Amino acid sequence: MLFTMIAATVFLVLAGVYFAVTEREADKKRTAIDRVGRMLAGDVDPEVIASILQESQSDLSSMLSEAAKKHAWLRSLDLMLYRAGRPIELTQLLGLTIGVAVACGTLGWLLGYGALGFLFGVAPVVVIRHLKNKRMALFGEQFPSALALFSRALRAGHAMSSALQMVGAEMQDPVGPEFALVAREISLGLSAEVALANLQDRLDCQDLPVFVTAVLVQLETGGNLAESLDNIGHVIRQRIQFHGKVKALTAQSMMSANVLLVVPFALFLLMYNQSPDFINPMIESETGFKVLIGAAVMAFSGWLLCRKIADVDA
């Protein structure tokens, strides 16, 4: 009971600090948005608005933004957050990671598991990575439709920036906002080459470099860009259909892998519930505990092996 109370106290203190910092940043942003909204009603120097927006960023956020420019791991975390749709800010991710690691590590230390609890600190990063992969997969599914709309706009006589803006207005997230951002960067003075390079750097999509290369070649040498986009979209659709068929054919192997991983642990819990005296020697003795760890490692290795066999891209 005492261990639980101590762990809960540590968790609540860390959660309180985290939410206090988060609310402070949110208040500064809301205040800045209100000030900019009032100023936009009149004739205001853009530099004044820029200074207000700079003030809305907390000192910790500013420090991390500067550090991200120098340290690759911070930049990769920030880029992963962007690709995930930025559900939280970089400061919040780092604070949440540290908080979970300290809370779980303290609980693990009190329960006698040593520093193993600190490994749970990577849980927020794992969740963000899952959201990133899910959003980038959605971008890949929407990309052929965006290319078709872009091609039709070009055939109708629209300029490239206007066609990009049409795709941004018609398509949903994540394709729509990304194409709208490219159009906005071009309208603000960036060259099409730089804007498209920024798009390729921001996102993790294997089909995006083909699109960027086709557009850049058309800008330099000329040609029928609409026809090239139609061909690229057709190839992407065929590849998506192929991967769908492969996924259906390998579904049995994937299910076998999941069963191979779940069944041993389920049987262990069932036997422990029905006959605890039969399982207790495995848990209490050093030899039995090593056997359990070895069985868990082999079950996880078999799961990875089955998934590796079913992965045709590996």
Domain boundaries defined on the chain? 2-132, 133-245, 250-310
Spell out the long-range contacts of 74-82 with Cβ–Cβ below 8 A and sequence spacing 24 or more: 77/125, 79/202, 80/125, 80/128, 80/129, 80/132, 81/128, 82/202
Q: Does position 186 have pLDDT exceeding 50, yes or no?
A: yes
Mean pLDDT confidence for 237-252: 83
Reduced to 3 states (helix: H, G, I; strand: E, B; else coil), residue 86 is: coil
Residue 178 DSSP label: H
**pLDDT score at 136:** 93
Query: Residue 178 — very low, low, confident or very high, per pLDDT cuts 50/70/90?
Result: very high
Q: Does position 71 have pLDDT exceeding 90, yes or no?
A: no
How far are the Cα atoms of 39, 60, 73, 75, 288 from residue 90, in angstroms, in the given order? Answer: 29, 10, 12, 10, 43
Reduced to 3 states (helix: H, G, I; strand: E, B; else coil), residue 1 is: coil
Query: 273-289, pLDDT tens digit by residue?
Result: 888 888 888 788 888 88
Whether pTM > 0.75 for this model: the answer is no
**pLDDT score at 55:** 47
Query: 89-123, pLDDT tens digit by residue?
Result: 888 888 888 888 887 777 777 766 666 677 778 88
Query: Residue 175 — very low, low, confident or very high, per pLDDT cuts 50/70/90?
Result: very high
**pLDDT score at 166:** 92
**pLDDT score at 260:** 80
The larger pLDDT score, comparing residue 238 to residue 54, is at 238
Q: Does position 189 have pLDDT exceeding 90, yes or no?
A: no
**pLDDT score at 286:** 82
> Whole-number mean pLDDT of the chain?
78
Topology of the domain covering 133-245:
Receptor-associated Protein (1.20.81)
Q: Which residues contact 247 (CB under 8 A, 6 or more apart)?
A: none
Q: Does position 224 have pLDDT exceeding 90, yes or no?
A: no
Query: 16-60, pLDDT tens digit by residue?
Result: 655 655 555 556 555 655 655 555 555 555 444 445 444 444 444
* Rounded distance between C-alpha atoms, residue 292 and residue 52, angstroms: 59
